Structure 1
Amino acid sequence: MTSFSVLRRSRLPLCVAVLLASSLTPAAAAPADDIAELKAAVEALRADQARAQARIAELEGALAKQRETPVAVAAAPAPAPNAIVTTAAPVGSEPSRLSLSGDVRVRYESNFGVAGARDRDRGVLRARLRAAYSVNDWLTVGGQLATGDPDDPNSTDMTLSNFNDDLQVSLDQAYIRLTPGDLQVHLGKIPQPFMRTELVWDGDVSPQGASAAYTADLGGVKVKASGLYFMVDESVAGPDSRMIGGQLSVQTPAAPIQAEFAVGYYDYSLRSVAGGDAGDFRSNLFAGGRYLSDFNLLDVIAALTWNGLGEKWPVRIVGDYVHNYGAATDADTGFGVDLLVGRASKPGDWRFTYGYAEAETDAVLAAFSQDNTNIGTNYMQHTLAIDFVPQHNLVLNATYYHYRQKDGVIGPVDWQNRLRLNFLVNF
């Protein structure tokens, strides 16, 4: 029983006394002393009622004030300066400005099938850690740490060898990203800005310089214009080596068939090669400390994706054609075709891939093209791959390369074989 009920019920004796007093007739009147005593009791009850009403008013006022006053919540302590907050942000709070991601891949590789050459097996490791911090809505700073030889621009792999020496880790990317509206600008050692295949651009190449990309949505058709100023090798005493390139790409809506098309042109001026080594020059024509060809590459990519078998089994075909208009040889053209069935993004997914590619000696700049085999250019190559996703962020892959030199100018002309078994964890 609440205090309000008790106080209100105190009115009952007063009402009873008033009724009794009013019901007395002169014929049945009590003696004068009894009447005086009864009046005193009535006055006492009235005083009690006044006090009760005052108390009720006081409590009701306090309750109304309590309803109007918001409940105070203790603020969480601020993190220490430069601390990285790893816990999830409370509901309703500002999302974290720092994002972290990365991957670790462990590989077994077997090389076999060349007559008179020793078969070779090896273990390979790759690890990458990416971070980006949003300073505000249009400015982000980011970077990537990666294993691999810092002097090899198109590979972050490390052979597990060298008497158990420690692995090399380097700063593979460090950039500022500006995003005013639909324009995206990168400055520094930056991510690759172009639609690509590994015929021209290996996935591990991070250019250094500046890039800009503008994307527009024209009624569901996405149009993207990208440009790159690539400082390849800066020279103190002489001319620099650099590349200026651009690409225009178009992508249609996804259903039922998505089409993608991109055309790019990359104009290299390779006057300084002081920062390069034999691994950069590879199979391009090179003599007297310089490239024999210029590299002015027209790169055309077309892709079709059919989703008629459901979202788990897209069928995609990709074609890439490249021609070097600056080559000092007729060996100036390359192409590649890949057929992919399935996806590899969610648990239970399977993807099957077959690809064929040819690249003539100076069709591409070998320093930045694929390094899936030990032949950078002048090759013919078949590729078979199977990907399986058993759990979220885990990919199992088997890839088989069957390849040889196209013209047999240098080294063995036999078909060679490379089998890779990859265990990839993303986070």
Structure 2
Amino acid sequence: MKQTKLSVAIKATLLGASIVLAPASFAVDKELLDILKANGAITEDQYTELSMSNMMNKQNKPSDEMLKKMAWAGKIKVKGDLRLRNENRSTTNGVSDKGRQRYRARIGVYADITKNVKGGIRLATGDSEGPTSTNETINDRFDRDDVWVDLAYINWEALNGLELIGGKFKQPWEQVSGGMVWDSDLNPEGGALRYTTALGGVDIITTAGVLLMDDGGSSKDDDSTVNFGQIATKFKLAGAKTKLGVSVFDYSLSDELQYNLTNSVDTTDFLGKGNDSTEYQLTEVFGETNLDLGLPVKLYGHYVKNNDADGINSGEDTAWLLGVGTKMGKWKASYDYREVELNSVFAAFNDSDFADGYTDSEGSRWKLSYEINKNFSVGTTYLDTEMGKLTSKGEGDVDTWQIDLVAKF
């Protein structure tokens, strides 16, 4: 993959420091040059120049210690993205109308620490909207904006195909588009394992772990956690790439959090928008298939049931989504429709854009984007949603229109 100017500059600095410390006439090992070129640490011209120098100065090969220092530069990647957004929302109930400009900025450093150990740290913007948003709203009279730790993890491939992940990491499970259970901006914390193997042309991915939402202190009774397990498969059938999976997310909520949920006490980041259940064990089934119908077409679906829903609305415990997407040249388009009952998902963590994050909602999501070039695109999303009478806001329409300009580096 071609590296950005920022990434190359940082790697070149590390490489240059190693060269400065070496004898003036040293030769660079060809295998090392191939690694640095493949990782984008040096350009094609630099590769050619150093290769020629290598041929002329074989007798002055650098020490193993020097080679290790230089190779380290090729194992570091710097990646980031910036999104500018104009968002407008109109409603007919108590959800506030909004016309606002926002941005999201993220930058991370990722390293191959050893052959089987990787790590990463990423910083991101975000205001006080909880774990489901890294957007910064432009409304603070030019004040300096906050930056938060968005990722901080170690991934250790202890055995072939078996990954152990700890810290604050990207969602390790397989899923389909829509964010019906987990908003795409949310990065959980805790520990997970992921095992991938192949059996008869079918890739089997098993994921399990424990996520710590809130450490209540010395007593485990005060902790709020999510235990999860998933098995997913990827395979080709009649030329179509298909993914199927089933997951269980078992929430264990502290007494304090349960009280806040049932009494609408807004003293915790985990207060869901719409929920009134105190128990959540979500079982989900999802699938996706990619077809070639002259144009590539993706069909996907998602079904969720809260097996432990309690309270007066315990029957409001299911959610479903059906969607379709396609790509034509530099254009991408998708559409999905969903219905999310009041206690079907944990509303503090689901898609925060759909009906402003409230459950007891249904409606459509339309997306369209255009790739101006490889790392620069423009897109728009329209969410046409309806909220039911069971939420604190009552029945009403919530329509949201977003226009995004995205740059990756």
TM-score calculated relative to the size of structure 1: 0.73
Q: Which runs of 5+ in 2 are unaligned?
A: 1-23, 29-38, 52-69, 261-265
Matches within 5 A, 1:3-402: 73-75=25-27, 88=42, 91=47, 94=71, 96-112=74-90, 114=92, 119-149=97-127, 152-180=130-158, 181-197=160-176, 198-238=179-219, 239=221, 240-253=223-236, 256-271=239-254, 277=267, 280-286=270-276, 292-309=277-294, 313-328=295-310, 329-342=314-327, 348-373=329-354, 374-402=356-384
Other structure's SS at 1:331 match: coil
Q: What is the CA–CA distance in structure 2 between the aligned matches of 1:104 and 1:277, rounded to whole Å?
A: 32
Deviation of 1:258 after TM superposition, in Å, equals 1.5
Unaligned runs of 5+ in 1: 1-71, 77-84, 287-291
**Judging changes above 3 Å, is the alpha-carbon distance between structure 1 residues 243 and 409 closer, same or farther for their aligned structure 2 residues?**
closer
Residue deviations 1:172-223 (CA, integer Å, cap 9, x gap):
1111110131111111111111112400011111111111111112233111
- Bigger mean CA deviation after superposition, 328-337 or 140-149: 140-149
Write the letter of the residue equivalent to 1:334: A
Code of the residue aligned with 1:159 in structure 2: it is T
DSSP 3-state at the match of 2:244 = strand
Amino acid corresponding to residue 381 of structure 1 in structure 2: G
Q: Alignment RMSD, CA only? A: 2.6
Deviation at 1:135, TM superposition (A): 1.6
Bigger strand fraction: 2
Question: For residues 161 and 137 of structure 2, what CA distance do their matches in structure 1 show?
Answer: 41
The letter of the residue matching 2:170 is: P
Contact 2:387 2:398 in 1 (8 A): no
CA shift for structure 1 position 229: 0.9
1:226, 1:246 within 8 Å by CA — same for their partners in 2? yes
Equivalent pairs counted in the alignment come to 336
Q: Please report how far the alpha carbon of residue 113 of structure 1 lies from its aligned counterpart in structure 2 after TM superposition.
A: 5.1
Please list the CA deviations of residues 59-112 of structure 1 after superposition, one character each: whole Å capped at 9, or x if unmatched.
Answer: xxxxxxxxxxxxx95357xxxxxxxx9952764784711111111100001112
Q: What residue in structure 2 maps to residue 12 of structure 1?
A: none
Paired residues of 2:100 and 2:137 also in contact (CA < 8 A): yes
Indicate whether 1:404 and 2:386 are aligned: yes
Q: Deviations over 1:371-405 (max 9, x none)?
A: 01413211012111111101111121111011111
Aligned counterparts of 1:391 and 1:255: Cα–Cα separation in 2: 33
Aligned to 2:273, the other structure's residue is in SS state: coil
Q: 1:133-157: per-residue Cα shift (whole Å, max 9, x none)?
A: 1121011221111111366111111
Partners of 2:76 and 2:198 in 1: CA distance: 29
Percentage of identical aligned residues: 25
In 2: Cα distance, 1:272 partner to 1:116 partner: 29
Cα 1:113–1:324, aligned 2, differ >3 Å: closer, same or farther?
A: closer
Please tell me whether Structure 1 or Structure 2 has the larger radius of gyration of its CA atoms: 1
Q: Matches of 2:368 and 2:141 in 1, distance apart?
A: 33
Q: Could you say if the C-alpha distance between residues 333 and 118 of structure 1 is closer, same or farther in structure 2, counting changes exceeding 3 Å?
A: closer
Work out the CA distance in 2 between the residues paired with 1:127 and 1:192.
Answer: 19
- TM-score, normalising length: structure 2: 0.76
State the shift of 1:227 in Å. Answer: 0.7
Alpha-carbon distance between aligned partners in 2 of 1:255 and 1:391, rounded to the nearest angstrom: 33
1: CA distance, partners of 2:274 / 2:300: 26
Per-residue displacement from partner, 1:11-70 (whole Å, max 9, x unpaired)? Answer: xxxxxxxxxxxxxxxxxxxxxxxxxxxxxxxxxxxxxxxxxxxxxxxxxxxxxxxxxxxx
- What CA distance in whole angstroms lies between the structure 2 residues aligned with 1:100 and 1:395? 20
Q: Distance in 2 between matches of 1:256 and 1:102?
A: 35
Deviation of residue 280 (structure 1)?
2.9
Paired with 2:381 and 2:287, the residues of 1 have a C-alpha distance of 23
Residues 283 and 378 in structure 1, CA contact (< 8 A), matched pair in contact too: no
User: SS where residue 357 of structure 2 aligns?
Assistant: coil
Matched, 1:418 2:403: no
